[in-house]
Amino acid sequence: MTQTDNRRSWIASANGHPDFPLQNLPLGIFSPAGATPRGGVAIGDAIFDLKVASDAGLFSGEASEAAHAVCGDSLNAFFALGASARRALRSQLQDLLAEGSAAQARLEAMGQALLPAAATCQLHLPARVGDYTDFYVGIHHANNVGRLFRPDNPLLPNYKHVPIGYHARSSTVCVSGTPVRRPLGQTLPPGQEAPSFGPSKRLDYELELGIWIGQGNEMGEAIAIGDAQRHIAGYCLLNDWSARDVQAWEYQPLGPFLAKNFGTTVSPWVVTAEALEPFRRAQPARPEGDPQPLPYLLDEADQANGAFDIQLEVLLLTPAMREQGLAPQRLALSSTLNMYWTVAQLVAHHSVGGCKLQPGDLFGSGTLSGPEPEAFGSLLESTFGGKQPITLPGGEQRTFLQDGDEVILRARCEREGYASIGFGECRGVVLAAR
């Protein structure tokens, strides 16, 4: 049982904050006005500047080493230190920022140099992404999409034996707030025998959990399922933008290519495994008749405590809604409990053949749809392949995304007796094709 931590912070905006109370403390890379990018911690409406804190000698021991590793313009060096250093930094941060801290007067005196307002800062990609792998662990999404193309056989037999994934493009992973341009590509219009070239007409989002890799492994050496958790540095939100018409034409026989490589948006804050401990759950039982995972993918502790109860939300804000001052419209509300495979199983499978994982590698979970239409994590599903438009406030309709549309992903963890924590937002506006 996770010990309850109901401490409050002397930073007033942190207490009751929907995303960033004292119990969260996610890390990211930010730059105050006129300053170079460096590591920081989200706390309430402020960012705790780890470079300023480190230079002031606020940390000791292993936490000092961890804080120093975050002073640069990426979290890769910090990810490489592993769980012990991460926990040491978290513990000392909570002691410094908790109500009644012995250091409170000193920290308050440092003012905005130490705690600039988040609204005045720019957020950056948390780490240099060496490699990015996109998985397909949302079984409801796999069923829904499969049903569109194979009504009598929606789920291929390998799905329940092996975590399906593909090697995605790391160069176009971008931080929340970065516009995403509608891609060009080949498509095969219905009834045509030859493809045409032009802007995608079926641009979509995908609601995913992002997983940041911490310590890696040596080439040729697999990560055992029981050790996989210690190789995970943290989590974020991830929108794997998808050009469905391009995808339909190109994906056989080798899978997605141009339909996926033009942009992937991640939220800027890395929520640590420690912050998510209260929200761990047993992996949902497989339906009766489903095969048991092979031994390299099966660990009793992981099955008992390897899933997360994270609420996932997709919202849409169109140009017309923006002009009318309307709030974003929720399109879906789902959960990470819809993952057929655990994160540890993804790490174990990815490395079992000897693949070398490295600090800053990024995994996408795949679209985490729920079983009902209000929990579908993509427009491909919500509009049943574009056949049933979604009606928005003001009477607008959408089958797929239009230029100027902004997709917003949010995530929240809630449990009775515990402070709720969030991931911040993962946003992106669609720009017209060049």
Instruction: Write the pLDDT tens digit of every residue in 175-196.
Output: 999 999 999 999 999 899 999 9
The secondary structure of residue 207, as a DSSP letter, is E
CA distances (Å), 25 to each of 100, 151, 162, in order?
Answer: 18, 45, 34
**Amino acid occupying residue 226:** G
Compute the mean pLDDT over every residue in the chain, rounded to the nearest whole number: 96
Tens of pLDDT, residues 3-53: 678 899 999 999 999 999 999 999 999 999 889 999 999 999 999 999 999
Find the largest Cα–Cα distance for the chain. Answer: 74
Please give the model's pTM, rounded to 2 decimal places. 0.96
pLDDT of 311-340, one tens digit each? Answer: 999 999 999 999 999 999 999 999 999 999
d(Cα 212, Cα 231) in Å, to the nearest integer?
A: 9
* Banded model confidence at residue 361, pLDDT cuts 50, 70, 90: very high
Taking the C-alpha atoms of residue 208 and residue 183, their distance in angstroms, rounded to an integer, is 20
Domains and CATH numbers, the chain: 12-122 (2.30.30.230), 132-431 (3.90.850.10)
Binding residues: 134, 136, 150, 206, 208, 240, 247, 251, 260, 264, 367
Average pLDDT over residues 92-117: 96
- Residue 149 clears pLDDT 50, i.e. is over it: yes
Distance CA 173, CA 378 (A): 19
How confident is the model at residue 151, as a pLDDT? 82
- pLDDT band for position 2 (cuts 50, 70, 90): low
- The binding site for Ca(2+) comprises 134, 206, 208, 240
Query: Does residue 370 have a pLDDT over 80?
Result: yes
Write the CB contacts of 266 (distance below 8 Å, at least 6 apart in sequence): 125, 126, 173, 174, 175, 176, 210, 236, 237, 238, 239, 362, 426
Amino acid at 192: Q
Q: What pLDDT does residue 1 have?
A: 44
Per-residue pLDDT, averaged over 130-155, amounts to 91
Measured distance CA(383)–CA(376) in Å, rounded: 10
Q: Tens digit of pLDDT for each residue in 241-284?
A: 999 999 999 998 988 999 999 999 999 999 999 999 999 999 99
Radius of gyration of the chain (CA): 22
**Catalytic sites, residue numbers:** 141
